A and B are shown apart, each in its own frame.
Chain A
Amino acid sequence: MTNLFALIAAAGTYATALMFGTLGETLTEKSGNMNLGVEGIMYMGGIFGLIAANRYEALVGEAASNGFLAILIAIIGAFAAGAVAGLLFSFITVTLRANQNVTGLAMTTFGTGVAKFAGEHMRNALGGYVSVSNHLKASFSLKIMPSFLQKIPFVGKILFGQPHFFYLGILVAVLMHLFFTKTKKGLYLRAVGESPVTADAAGINITKYRYLATIIGGGISAIGGMVYTMTTAGCVWIEASLGGVGWLSVALVIFCTWKPLNAIWGSMLFGSLMIMYLWIILPFFPTELYKILPYVVTIVVLIIASMRNNKEKQPPANLGLNYFREER
C-alpha cells in the first residue's frame, strides 16, 4: 500500500508534463481543431525552453542568475515555440483549408525535426551538451510546499511533495474549466467546436476563435515539453527521452473527455501507469507492456463512453472538420 502512494507521488513530475500537454490540446480541440502535432510541439517546447534558460544564464552569468527569472524565461521560450507551431497549423487548416489530420501529422514530423536540429546545433555551438548550472536545476525542481504538509501520512507526498510546475498546471486547469463553463467567450469557443454553422449564424468569428485557441493551446502544450526536459530529464537535452509524451497527451485528452479538471487526476493516473514498471516488477512481464497501459485505459474509456451514449462525454461535434460557409 505504501508502495502505491510512493508510486503516485513519484509520478507527479512526469504527470505535470502530461498535464500541460493535455490542457493545451484540450483548448485547441474545443475550437474544433484537432492538432495531432502535439508530439512535435512538445519537442519544440522541450528544446526551446531549455535553450531560453541556458541563454539567459550565459547572458547574466551563473552567479547572477535568478531561479524565478530563469523559470519565467523558459516558460516564455517554450510557449512562443508552441504558439508559432499553433499559428502555422491554423494557417494551413483554417485559412488554406487543408486536411487537419494530415497537417497535424506533418506538424509532428516538422516539430521533432526542428527540435532535434536546434538541439544538435546548440550542442555543437556550446561544445558538449546543453544544460544549466546546478543551482538553476535545483530551482526548476524545487518543492515549494511547506514540509509539515508533506509529512501528512500517505497523501502528503502526493499532494504537497510536487515541484511548482505541478501546482501551476492545476491552476491552468482550474482557470480553463472556469473559462469554458462560466464565461461568454468560453461558451462561444465551445459553440465554434460543436457547430460552426450555428456559431457563424450567431455572428461569432470562427476564424478568430480557432486561431487563438490553437495558438494558445500550442503554447500551453509546449510548456509541457519544457517541464519534461527541465525536471524529469534533469535539464539536459536527450533527444529520444521526450518521445511519445505528446501522443500520450493526445490520448489523455480523450481519456479526460475534453474536461480540463479531469486532466489533473488523469495525468497522475497516466504518469503512474508509465512508471509502474519501476515499482511493481512482475517476473516475465516485459516493461514495454506496462507502457501501453495508458493507451489500453484510453480505449476502455472510449468504449464505455460510447456504450453509455452520454452526450456530455463526447468530443466536440465538429472536431477535425474545417468550416466554409458556402459549402454544404
Chain B
Amino acid sequence: MQNCAIELKNIRKTFGPVVANDGINLQINRGEILCLLGENGSGKTTLMNMLSGIYQPDSGSIYANGEEVFIRSPHDAYKYGIGMIHQHYHLVDVFTAAQNIILGLDEKMDIAAVNDKVKDICDRYGFQVDPRKKVYDMSVSQKQTVEIVKVLYRGAEILILDEPTAVLTPQETDKLFAVLRNMRADGKAIVLITHKLAEVLSVSDKVAILRKGKYIATVNTKETSQQELTDMMVGHSVTLNIDRPKYDKPADKLIIEGLTVTDREGIKRLDNVSFTAKTGEILGVAGIAGSGQRELLESITGLYPITSGSIKFVNDKSENIELVGKTPMQIRQVGVGMGFVPEDRLGMGLVGSMGMTNNMMLRSWRKGKGVFFNKKEPENLANKVWKDLEVVTPSTEFPVRRMSGGNIQKVLVGREIASRPPVLLTAYAVRGLDINTSYAIYNLLTEQKMNGSAVMYVGEELDVLLELCDRILVLCAGQVSGIVDARKTTKEEIGLLMTTVGGSKEAN
C-alpha cells in the first residue's frame, strides 16, 4: 500500500518479568493523525520507543515502506524518517535552540544557515522559535517546539509525540494541534499519545487502543465515541461520573486575607487575595495558566515569600494559627498537605531507585519515634495506593523509575491523599493519568472531603471543576475575580471571570 509508512507485526517486548507489549499490530499512514490510547502502563511509550530505536523488540517485525527494517539506535530511526518527541524532553539545557537542533548532524556548523532553515520550517507549519535562545530560559511549550523543529529539521516524515499536551495550557494545545494539522496536510504521518479523550476526538483520524500490553483494535475517529473508547481501553463497561455529596457541618479551616506576593523581578503574582477554605468542601481554583495558581499554593505551603497578608489555619480546638512566617516543615506538621504535580515527576519527592513502600516512608518517617523505622505503616499505605489507583507494578518494591509515566504520578498523588491531611492542596493532579484513574482520584478527593478535610483543587478542565467542586475560586492576573457556587454556575460564567481582572465579588 502506498499510503502506509510504518507497519508493526506481532511485536513483543518484555522487561524481566514485565510484559510491556505483546502481539501488537499497528499501521501508521501518511497524511493521517493516529492516536494511541491506553491506560497507564499499557505499553504505549514502550511501543513507540521501539520505533525510535531506544528499545529493540524481543520478537515481531517492523516494516517501513513495505520493507522489513531493524531499528537499532535513534540514529537508525532518523534514517527511516522516524522522529519522536519524548515525554521527558531530550534537550541540552545550556545550549541554544540552534545548537540543540544541529546536534549530531553531519553538516557544517554554520549557525546562520541553521537559523534560516529553522525559520523556514517555522513559517511552513506555523510556529515560533528563537534559535539563539538558551533552553533553560524557555517555557515548557517552547521547549516542545524546539523538539518538534529538531525532528523536522532532520527530515522526519513520521512524527511520534508522547503525551505532548500533558504539560500544555489549553491555548498552547490548540496551537500545537494547528501545527499538527498543517503537517498532516503536508503528508506526514503522525502518532499522538494522549489521555484526554476530547483531544483524541477533535484531532485524530484513527485511534488505536492498547490494553495491558495487548493490541485491541484500531477504529475510525468519526465512528466512535468517548464512551466506546473508554470501554475498549478498560476492557469492560465503565460509568464515569462523580458524585458530589454535601457535607453537613462545614467549618472554616483556612482563612486567607489580603495575600500579596511579588516575584524576583518585583512583579505582583498575587494581589490582595482573600478567601476561606472550609472543611468538607472541595474548593476549585480556575484561571488561565499562570494567573497565580502555583504561587497561591506555594504561599500556603510556605515555599513562596509573602509580601503581605495573612493565612490562618483553624485547628481542632478552633484556635487560629498564623502560617505566614512558618517554615514549610512546620506548616506540614500543622496539617497542610500538598499534592502538587510538577512537570518533572521524579524531580519532586520521589526517589527513582526506591520502590513504593520506601517512597511512602519518605513522607512519614518524621512521625516515628526511636532509631529504627517502622515499616508496617508505609507498607500498608503503599498497598492501599497500589489497590485504590490500580498502579501497574510487579511489586511495592519495584523501583518507581521503571514504572510508566502515569503510574509514577499515581504514587506521587496517592501518597499525598492517603496521608489524610486536614488541608489537602492539589494542582494538576490528573496530568498524564488515564481517564479511569482520573476518576479514581476524583473519588478519593471526595472521600477526603467527606472525612472533613478542606480540599483545594487546581485544575484545567472546566467540566471537571464544575462536576467535582463545591465552590470555584477564579483567578485572573493574580487577583480573585470571583468565587462561585459550582452547583449553580456555568462554564460561560467562569470563562468570563477568567478573563476579567477583578471581576465582581458577589458570591461567598
Contact = CB atoms under 8 A, between A and B. Distances in A.
B95 A191 contact: yes
B103 A202 contact: yes
B17 to A, nearest CB: 16
A199 B402 CA distance: 21
Given A195-B90, A311-B93, A311-B136, A187 B74 contact: no
B118 to A, nearest CB: 16
Nearest to B346: A328
A203 B91 CA distance: 13
A312 interface: yes
A202 B109 contact: no
Given A195-B93, A197-B90, A202 B401 contact: no
A105 to B, nearest CB: 22
Interface in A240-260: none
Interface in A179-216: 183-184, 187-188, 190-191, 194-195, 197-204
A288 interface: no
B134 interface: yes
B401 A194 contact: no
Interface string B74-114: 11001000000000001111110001101111001100000
Interface in B290-331: none
Contacts of A183: 109
Given A183-B109, A187-B99, A328-B402, A317 B74 contact: no
B73 interface: yes
A311 B92 contact: no
B398 interface: no
Contacts of B125: none
A204 B103 CA distance: 8
B92 A200 contact: no
B134 A202 contact: no
Contact of B91 (A187, A198, A311): A198
Interface in B393-409: 401-402
Given A191-B95, A326-B54, A199 B103 contact: yes
Contacts of A197: 90
Nearest to B137: A311
Interface residues of A, number: 23
Contacts of B94: 190, 194, 311-312, 314, 317
Nearest to B154: A202
B401 A328 contact: yes
B48 to A, nearest CB: 13
B243 to A, nearest CB: 38
Nearest to A194: B92
A198 B105 CA distance: 13
B275 interface: no
Nearest to B104: A202
Nearest to B45: A328
A308 interface: no
Nearest to B76: A203
Contacts of A190: 92, 94-95
Interface centre among B74, B105, B134 (most CB of A within 10 A): B74
A202 B77 CA distance: 10
A106 to B, nearest CB: 23
A197 B55 CA distance: 13
Given A203-B75, A204-B104, A328-B402, A191 B92 contact: yes
A232 B94 CA distance: 39
Nearest to A317: B93
Contact of A203 (B73, B92, B401): B73
Contacts, number: 66
A202 B84 CA distance: 11
A110 to B, nearest CB: 29
Nearest to B107: A184
Contacts of B100: 198
B93 A199 contact: no
A199 B55 contact: no
A312 B401 CA distance: 28
Nearest to B101: A202
A184 B54 contact: no
Interface in B23-61: 52, 54-55
Nearest to B74: A201
A312 B109 CA distance: 22
A200 B74 contact: yes
Contacts of B54: 201, 325-326
A203 B54 CA distance: 11
A195 B92 contact: yes
A204 B485 CA distance: 56
Contacts of B136: 311
A314 B136 CA distance: 12
Contacts of B75: 202-203
A202 B93 contact: no
A191 B99 CA distance: 10
A184 B91 contact: no
A188 B103 contact: yes
Interface in A122-138: none
Interface string B123-144: 0000000000010100000000
A198 B109 contact: no
Interface in B454-498: none
Given A194-B92, A312-B94, A326-B55, A199 B104 contact: yes
A287 B95 CA distance: 44
Contacts of A311: 93-94, 134, 136
B74 A202 contact: yes
Given A204-B103, A311-B136, A328-B401, A198 B90 contact: yes
Nearest to B75: A203
Nearest to B136: A311
B104 A188 contact: yes
Nearest to A311: B136
A190 B103 CA distance: 11
B134 A198 contact: no
A201 B92 contact: no
Contacts of A199: 92, 103-104
Interface in A155-201: 183-184, 187-188, 190-191, 194-195, 197-201
B75, B104, B402: which has the most chain A beta carbons within 10 Å?
Answer: B104
B103 A191 contact: yes
Contacts of B134: 311
A195 B109 CA distance: 20
Nearest to B109: A184
Nearest to A201: B74
Given A203-B75, A311-B136, A325-B54, A187 B103 contact: yes
Nearest to A182: B109
Contacts of B104: 188, 191, 199, 202-204
A303 to B, nearest CB: 19
18 contacts: A183-B109, A184-B108, A187-B99, A187-B103, A187-B109, A188-B103, A188-B104, A191-B92, A194-B95, A195-B91, A198-B100, A201-B74, A202-B90, A202-B104, A202-B105, A203-B104, A317-B93, A326-B55
Given A184-B109, A201-B74, A311-B93, 18 more contacts: A184-B102, A191-B92, A191-B104, A194-B92, A194-B95, A195-B90, A195-B91, A200-B74, A202-B90, A203-B73, A311-B134, A311-B136, A312-B94, A314-B94, A317-B94, A325-B54, A328-B401, A328-B402
Interface of A: 183-184, 187-188, 190-191, 194-195, 197-204, 311-312, 314, 317, 325-326, 328
Leading 10 A-B pairs by shortest Cβ distance: A202-B104, A203-B75, A198-B90, A201-B74, A202-B103, A203-B104, A194-B92, A184-B109, A311-B136, A204-B104
